[in-house]
């Protein structure tokens, strides 16, 4: 998740705070979510909550990168595979609703412009995610 979003943030020249949030989301959040699921009385239910939180955060990040087409597609694909793999169509549709709501709310609150074009750097850093993630986890 880090590479596609980082490619867009590089081109947007954002402050260091956004980079810290990205590092936290990409590298700290998965470990926290795993710990919460392992220590929960009902690990499966906790993991479903974690996946729904992932959907919300993914929608937020896609909005923050201006719905940049290829990185957004990579993130949406990864999130969708996780949701459908863990909970089937029911979790997929619930997560997709949360994703869409968070994306639209973030776009509305921030007023960021939608920039769907992807630069060569964004394509280069998104393609490995699109190709390798399904091979590793599907």
Model confidence at 127: pLDDT above 90? yes
**Average pLDDT of the chain to the nearest whole number:** 93
Model confidence at 138: pLDDT above 80? no
Half-sphere exposure of 126 (CA within 13 A, CB side): 22
Q: What is the pLDDT of residues 53-90, one digit of tens each?
A: 999 999 999 999 999 999 999 999 999 999 999 999 99
Do residues 70 and 113 make contact, with C-beta atoms less than 8 angstroms apart?
A: no
Mean pLDDT for 4-19 is 90
Mean pLDDT for 45-49 is 96
pLDDT at 71: 94
Mean pLDDT for 112-136 is 90
> What are the residue ranges spanned by the domains of the chain?
1-15+44-112+128-133
- Which string of DSSP letters, residue by residue, matches 99-120? HHHHHHHHHHHH-PPP-----H
Whole-model pTM?
Answer: 0.91
Confidence at 44, pLDDT banded by 50, 70, 90? very high
């Amino acid at each position: 998740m880090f590479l596609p979003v980082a490619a867009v943030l590089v081109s947007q020249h954002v402050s260091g705070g956004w980079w810290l949030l990205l590092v936290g989301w990409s590298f700290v959040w998965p470990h926290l979510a795993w710990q919460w699921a392992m220590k929960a009385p009902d690990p499966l239910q906790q993991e479903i909550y974690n996946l729904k939180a992932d959907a919300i955060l993914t929608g937020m990040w896609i909005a923050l990168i201006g719905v940049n087409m290829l990185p957004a597609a990579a993130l949406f694909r990864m999130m969708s595979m996780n949701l459908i793999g863990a909970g089937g169509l029911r979790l997929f549709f619930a997560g997709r609703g949360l994703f869409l709501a968070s994306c639209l709310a973030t776009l509305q609150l921030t007023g960021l412009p939608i920039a769907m074009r992807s630069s060569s750097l964004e394509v280069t850093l998104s393609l490995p995610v699109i190709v390798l993630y399904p091979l590793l986890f599907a």
